[in-house]
Amino acid sequence: MPSAGVEPPAKRRKWQKDANMVTIGGKAFSLEGYLDPTSRSEPTKATTLPETLATTADDKTKCSALSAEKKSDSRPRKDGRTGDRTRAPKIVAEDAALLKSRQELPIWHHRSEIQAALRNPDCNVLVLVGETGSGKSTQVPQFLYQESWCRRRKAKPSGSQDEVAVGGTIAITQPRRVAATTLAQRVSREVGTPLGKGKPDGLVGYSVRFDHVVPRGTKIKFLTEGTLLQELLRDPQLRQYSAVIVDEIHERSLDVDLLVGFLKQILTDGFHGRGGIPLKVVIMSATADVDVIRKFFTNPPGSDNMSERLQVVRIKGRQYPVEIMHEPRPVPDIQDALMKRILKIHLEEPLPGDILAFFTGQEEIESAQKLIEEHAQSLASNVPKIKVCPLYGQLSMEGQRDAFMPAGAPFTRKIVLATNIAETSVTVPGVRYVVDCGKAKVKKYRPRLGMESLLATVISKSSALQRSGRAGREGPGKCFRLYSESTFESFQDSDLPEILRSDVLSAVLTMKARGVGDVLSFPLMDTPDSDSIERALLQLHYLGALSGDGAITLAGETMAKLPIPAPYGAVLLAAARPEFDCVVEAIDIISCITSGEDIFLQLQSEEAQEEVGALRKEIQRREGDIITYLTSMQRYTGENADRNEWCKRLRMNMRNMRQALNIRRQLRGMCLKEKLLTGPLPADPQPFTPIDPVRADIIVKCFMRGFGLKTAMLAPDGSYVTVQGKHVVAIHPASVLHGQKKEAIMFLEHVFTNKNYAKRVSAIRANWIVEALESRY
């Protein structure tokens, strides 16, 4: 056997024959070639890898839905017109105050500089570094949409006889839906064509999942990155656009990395597919790390003169000063230090000024809340009162609301205990003091183990900067870092981009579906290691998305169009086959799973758990989580009276349930279009009839077509051992099968936290594993 590390990757597949042999019912099976080729045990401890770009955000107009709503309608309206327009739109409701506030933005003075840069026919890429509050997201599209290069034109793409229309619209991408929609609302008011019901014409629109508002005559279109990637599938040259503005690139989402790869391809193609009409690209970042972007767009050096075509403009932000305090030396107990610091700030710092403290997770927040509330009882009467507000993603809407409201009572300080959610996703108003523990929980995919880890990890410098910036939104503030200055200096500059810490399965499928033959040579700012890509290719082949020579199959093309991870796409395709015939049920299940973290709210107290446990008996099924999701959706949609009331009673996550319903509608529509379903489907509500066990087995078997490798068998000692890699896994406590012993299990997720957990688990028979694997060969 060859020794580790010297063998070229392609030859490594013959390794560890023993680890890839499965004995089921006395029959030995080789999973070689389809399984993890190097399934040596890898320590599952957190590792800190080099990080590349930064995480801060310009979120002046982007905040939580809660605070965004509050902001948008509080502005005084006056009639007036702006001089910033050559053609007056039909609907004129320009607001002098709006124009004035626009002119006060730091970016306003760079207006002609930005316009001039892109008027230069040799300049197709503009990099804009604008700090928080510079106004870049709202103003840059308005600076550009009336430029002459932005006009819609007729052109003949090479190899085509027909003229097509090219350009006319500016796309501007955002990582989050709320950002895309609230920015579109704001910009539409600024240009004088506010979005609203019964307004078919307008200059500004947006397009996000489940919500597309694109008026006739739209010149500026806000999109999420994912939506533009989907458009790219239909229109690889992005012909409807004259420019694409990529905002918040420093967040380095997986989608944005793919997006700029495709943009670079369009740029380096010489615009043949656009009849020679250029596509201008504006890259906007909140951090000054321009080099990665510059290098990406001008690479390989000498192959073209891209370096001359790329310009950089830097804009100062508008932010109040924040005084930063470090600990003199590392603290021994972070949780204890957080508590002490929060109380010290409360006693020493004047009102007004709320406190925002960054914790790593829900558990830490809950225990800290308890302790602070206890302590608050014993405060002297001349000390302000305390209102503690937890803030984390899994918290219900009502639970989060307090964090965004003023403390309410007089002589009271709000203390918000938050996870990373408060770093970029939402803005907490009223904060003057920030406490930063220096850590965050980060999910990281481990391709060798085919599993994820979720562990508290040290943050990056840009993350620390972003956290401290939260103290200076409304006035001068203070940030207390619970680590030393030298510890800060040891942080990486920026966080590891998502593409380097996630499963690239769907990313590779996306590339293949958009005609990228050689995935390894696709231009990326950061390239995952070839091992990860090879595994993804192998698994896509296993799922039937790629043929033996790596070309995309018809099934793969369908999977790429579906807005769900590739393995679920494979399940849907299998469900359409006559032997399974369960597309409707599979959609119900997949909708529940992909709607968010979980549709079941997790409960704190044991009494509440027991109480709801009894109520949930009516939807829980012994077959496991998949069938439990199915009955949940069937019960929910079968509910005649009040669905929200039903959610409350069973402690279901209402937001995720509604999202699941949206996904269900979308998937049903797409499956009808893709001929995976024949309509018409029965309308809701349908009377609830529990699914019979035979049918339940068929559905679970169908899921094995996507997750056949995510299986484990019960060992004699009562533990579960994975078929792939032979690791011990425990059934996660959130699963209905937690604590139960079944012959074998299939799981849809595999996460390491304090141990190896299988999540979304179903009971299976061992011979089903054989069937699922045999059906592949």
Partner DNA sequence: GAGCACTGC
Query: Can residue 394 be called a binding residue for DNA (CB under 7 A)?
Result: yes
One of 16, 138, 207, 620 touching DNA (CB under 7 A): 207
Task: Decide whether 396 or 678 has the Cβ nearer to DNA.
Answer: 396
- Candidate segments 201-209, 483-491, 548-556, 689-697, binder of DNA by CB under 7 A: 201-209
Query: Can residue 561 be called a binding residue for DNA (CB under 7 A)?
Result: yes
The nearest distance, CB 575 to DNA, in angstroms, is 18
- Candidate segments 70-78, 316-324, 392-400, 462-470, binder of DNA by CB under 7 A: 392-400
The nearest distance, CB 133 to DNA, in angstroms, is 21
Helix (H) or strand (E) holding 405: none
Q: Which residues contact 463 (CB under 8 A, 6 or more apart)?
A: 54, 55, 56, 423, 440, 491, 494, 495
Query: Can residue 451 be called a binding residue for DNA (CB under 7 A)?
Result: no
| Helices of type H across 349-483 | 362-377, 397-404, 421-424, 461-469
Q: How far is CA 427 from CA 113, 467, 674, in A?
A: 31, 11, 41
Rounded to an integer, what distance in angstroms lies between the CA atom of residue 593 and that of residue 575? 16
Task: Give the closest residue to 236 by CA, choosing from 505, 558, 510.
Answer: 510
Query: Can residue 511 be called a binding residue for DNA (CB under 7 A)?
Result: no
Tell me the two tokens of residue 263: 């943009």
Query: Can residue 440 be called a binding residue for DNA (CB under 7 A)?
Result: yes
Task: Decide whether 308 or 597 has the Cβ nearer to DNA.
Answer: 597
Query: Can residue 553 be called a binding residue for DNA (CB under 7 A)?
Result: no
Beta bridge partners, 154, equal 165
Query: Can residue 230 be called a binding residue for DNA (CB under 7 A)?
Result: yes
Tell me the two tokens of residue 448: 């060798």
Query: What number of other Cβ atoms are within 10 A of residue 103's Cβ?
Result: 13
Rounded to an integer, what distance in angstroms lies between the CA atom of residue 542 and that of residue 33? 10
Task: Decide whether 78 or 370 has the Cβ nearer to DNA.
Answer: 370
Task: Decide whether 35 or 458 has the Cβ nearer to DNA.
Answer: 458
The nearest distance, CB 361 to DNA, in angstroms, is 3
- Candidate segments 41-49, 130-138, 241-249, 603-611, binder of DNA by CB under 7 A: 603-611
The nearest distance, CB 122 to DNA, in angstroms, is 33
One of 602, 644, 686, 767 touching DNA (CB under 7 A): 602
Query: Can residue 233 be called a binding residue for DNA (CB under 7 A)?
Result: yes
Query: Can residue 753 be called a binding residue for DNA (CB under 7 A)?
Result: yes
Rounded to an integer, what distance in angstroms lies between the CA atom of residue 412 and that of residue 406? 9
One of 420, 427, 711, 722 touching DNA (CB under 7 A): 420
Amino acid identity at 240: Q
Query: Can residue 361 be called a binding residue for DNA (CB under 7 A)?
Result: yes
Query: Can residue 385 be called a binding residue for DNA (CB under 7 A)?
Result: no
Query: Can residue 262 be called a binding residue for DNA (CB under 7 A)?
Result: no
Query: Can residue 176 be called a binding residue for DNA (CB under 7 A)?
Result: yes
Query: Can residue 210 be called a binding residue for DNA (CB under 7 A)?
Result: yes
One of 60, 62, 219, 732 touching DNA (CB under 7 A): 732
Using the structure block, give the residue that is written with the tokens 């694109």: 214
One of 385, 531, 594, 770 touching DNA (CB under 7 A): 594
Beta pairing class for 27-30 and 756-764:
unpaired
Q: Is the dihedral of CA 163, 164, 170, 171 positive or negative?
A: negative
Query: Can residue 169 be called a binding residue for DNA (CB under 7 A)?
Result: no
Q: Which residues contact 82 (CB under 8 A, 6 or more apart)?
A: 94, 98, 99, 192
Percent helix, strand, coil in the chain, to 5, is 40, 20, 40
Rounded to an integer, what distance in angstroms lies between the CA atom of residue 435 and that of residue 480? 5
End-to-end CA distance of the chain: 26
The nearest distance, CB 753 to DNA, in angstroms, is 4
Task: Decide whether 161 or 605 has the Cβ nearer to DNA.
Answer: 605
Tell me the two tokens of residue 495: 């966080």
Query: Can residue 421 be called a binding residue for DNA (CB under 7 A)?
Result: yes
Query: Can residue 236 be called a binding residue for DNA (CB under 7 A)?
Result: no
Query: Can residue 652 be called a binding residue for DNA (CB under 7 A)?
Result: no
Task: Decide whether 345 or 435 has the Cβ nearer to DNA.
Answer: 435
Using the structure block, give the residue that is written with the tokens 């698994």: 539
Q: What are phi and psi of 571, to 5 degrees?
A: -60, -45
Task: Decide whether 276 or 563 has the Cβ nearer to DNA.
Answer: 563
Query: Can residue 603 be called a binding residue for DNA (CB under 7 A)?
Result: yes
One of 733, 740, 743, 775 touching DNA (CB under 7 A): 733
The nearest distance, CB 418 to DNA, in angstroms, is 8
The nearest distance, CB 566 to DNA, in angstroms, is 8
Peptide bond into 690 cis (omega under 30): no
Amino acid identity at 398: E
HSE-CB at 589 with a 13 A cutoff on CA atoms is 25
Task: Decide whether 443 or 622 has the Cβ nearer to DNA.
Answer: 443
Query: Under rule CB under 7 A, how many of the chain's residues touch DNA?
Result: 60
Task: Decide whether 454 or 555 has the Cβ nearer to DNA.
Answer: 454
Amino acid identity at 241: Y
One of 454, 672, 681, 714 touching DNA (CB under 7 A): 454
Please give the residues from 662 up to 691 whose contact with DNA meets the rule CB under 7 A. Answer: 666, 670
| Helices of type H across 382-471 | 397-404, 421-424, 461-469
Q: What interhelical angle do 625-638 and 643-650 show, nearest 10?
A: 140
One of 40, 75, 90, 212 touching DNA (CB under 7 A): 212
Do residues 573 and 558 lie in contact, with contact meaning Cβ atoms separated by under 8 Å? Answer: yes
Task: Decide whether 132 or 595 has the Cβ nearer to DNA.
Answer: 595
The nearest distance, CB 406 to DNA, in angstroms, is 22
Query: Can residue 234 be called a binding residue for DNA (CB under 7 A)?
Result: yes
Do residues 424 and 459 lie in contact, with contact meaning Cβ atoms separated by under 8 Å? Answer: no
Query: Can residue 425 be called a binding residue for DNA (CB under 7 A)?
Result: yes
Query: Can residue 462 be called a binding residue for DNA (CB under 7 A)?
Result: no
Helix (H) or strand (E) holding 113: helix 111-119
Q: Which residues contact 623 (CB under 8 A, 6 or more apart)?
A: 693, 696, 697, 700, 762, 763
The nearest distance, CB 591 to DNA, in angstroms, is 12
One of 506, 532, 722, 762 touching DNA (CB under 7 A): 506
Given phi > 0 = left and psi -120 to 50 = alpha, else beta, which region is 282?
A: beta
Task: Decide whether 2 or 393 has the Cβ nearer to DNA.
Answer: 393
Task: Decide whether 421 or 533 has the Cβ nearer to DNA.
Answer: 421
Beta pairing class for 27-30 and 21-24:
antiparallel
Q: What interhelical angle do 530-542 and 505-513 show, nearest 10?
A: 70
Rounded to an integer, what distance in angstroms lies between the CA atom of residue 557 and that of residue 509? 8
Task: Decide whether 435 or 691 has the Cβ nearer to DNA.
Answer: 435
Amino acid identity at 199: K
Q: Following DSSP, what letter does each residue of 286-337 receive, concatenated?
A: SSS-HHHHHHHHHPSTTSS-HHHHEEEEEE------EEEEEESS--S-HHHH
One of 291, 333, 549, 606 touching DNA (CB under 7 A): 606
Query: Can residue 748 be called a binding residue for DNA (CB under 7 A)?
Result: no
Query: Can residue 175 be called a binding residue for DNA (CB under 7 A)?
Result: yes
Query: Can residue 12 be called a binding residue for DNA (CB under 7 A)?
Result: no
Q: What interhelical angle do 643-650 and 606-616 show, nearest 10?
A: 130
Helix (H) or strand (E) holding 257: helix 254-268
- Candidate segments 121-129, 275-283, 388-396, 521-529, binder of DNA by CB under 7 A: 388-396
Query: Can residue 738 be called a binding residue for DNA (CB under 7 A)?
Result: yes
Query: Can residue 757 be called a binding residue for DNA (CB under 7 A)?
Result: yes
Summarize as ranges the residues that interact with DNA (CB under 7 A). 175-178, 207-210, 212, 224, 226-227, 230-231, 233-234, 253, 360-363, 392-394, 419-421, 425, 440-443, 454, 498, 506, 561-565, 594, 596-597, 602-604, 606, 609, 666, 670, 732-734, 738-739, 751, 753-755, 757
